[in-house]
């Protein structure tokens, strides 16, 4: 069972929900203020899974996730490279995804970012549940999606969630989650991506608040949907 490190502080506001997704599956979860990790990057070596929650890190000054991404780049790049080489896992949800995208975590090998997360094409902040599809090949391309496919129903809460390729012909990372309908102009309706090894997973929807049926806004299919939400966390720990 992997030990999980969940970042907190400086505008991050969903750390307990994200951590509980893993602790409900039996994981040992620790919470660490981002400044403490920046002071001691080697701390990451004590864990096998790094989780970046949602919120508004550093008030989303400049743009969403930018400041935290630059801080992590300056101090954590070497440690994170070693972490991934040792089969470490990373998940970033909503603002955490924005941080990973700004960091270039999905294109770590090439060092050239393939996409950015821009403001929704309608210009509005969204807070609603949306239907997603999981391509069947996600099972084999990412450990986060072992034994998962079909559909999923999750909430989104964001203003900057539109995935935009950095150039027209660039190859984007694989998407294990796509919106059933276009909700924000995201390229190919992408809701989340994984890196080439499948270890790093970022998504705009919030699976951490959909792991129990009583949290869902519907009854029919709620148990199965909750089970799928739980599977994401369970798979991340394997």
Of 119, 160, 206, 216, which one is the catalytic site residue?
A: 206
Task: Choose among 130, 150, 149, 151: nearest CA to 138.
Answer: 149
Of 15, 94, 160, 216, which one is the catalytic site residue?
A: 94
Backbone torsions φ then ψ of 129, nearest 5 degrees: -90, 140
According to DSSP, the β-strands at 89-93 and 49-52 are parallel
Please state, in angstroms and as integers, the Cα–Cα distance from residue 181 to each residue in 4, 86, 165, 222, 229, following that order.
33, 37, 19, 20, 20
- Specify whether the CB–CB gap between 157 and 94 falls below 8 A: yes
Tell me the residue length of the chain. Answer: 238
Of 15, 119, 160, 208, which one is the catalytic site residue?
A: 208
Residue 122: active-site member: no
Task: Give the span between the Cα atoms of 153 and 229, in whole angstroms.
Answer: 9
Residue 206: active-site member: yes
Residue 158: active-site member: no
Looking at the annotation, which residues are catalytic?
A: 94, 206, 208
């Amino acid at each position: 069972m992997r030990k999980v490190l969940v970042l907190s502080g400086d505008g991050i506001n969903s750390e307990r929900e994200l951590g509980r997704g893993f602790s409900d599956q039996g994981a040992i979860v620790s919470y660490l203020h981002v400044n403490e990790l920046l002071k001691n990057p080697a701390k990451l070596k004590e864990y096998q899974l790094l989780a970046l929650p949602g919120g508004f890190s550093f008030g989303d000054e400049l743009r969403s996730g930018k400041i935290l991404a630059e801080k992590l780049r300056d101090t954590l790049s070497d440690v994170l490279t070693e972490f991934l080489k040792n089969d470490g896992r990373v998940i970033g949800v909503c603002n955490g995804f924005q941080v990973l995208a700004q960091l270039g975590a999905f294109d770590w090998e090439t060092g050239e970012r393939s996409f950015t997360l821009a403001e929704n094409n309608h210009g509005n902040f969204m807070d609603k549940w949306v239907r997603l599809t999981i391509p069947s090949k996600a099972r084999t391309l990412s450990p986060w999606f072992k034994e998962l496919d079909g559909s999923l129903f999750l909430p989104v809460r964001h203003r900057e969630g539109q995935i935009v390729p950095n150039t027209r012909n660039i190859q984007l990372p694989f998407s294990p989650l796509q919106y059933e309908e276009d909700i924000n102009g995201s390229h190919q309706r992408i809701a989340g991506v994984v890196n080439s090894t499948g270890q790093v997973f970022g998504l705009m929807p919030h699976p951490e608040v959909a792991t129990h049926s009583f949290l869902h806004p519907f009854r029919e299919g709620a148990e199965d949907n909750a089970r799928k939400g739980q599977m994401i966390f369970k798979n991340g720990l394997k």
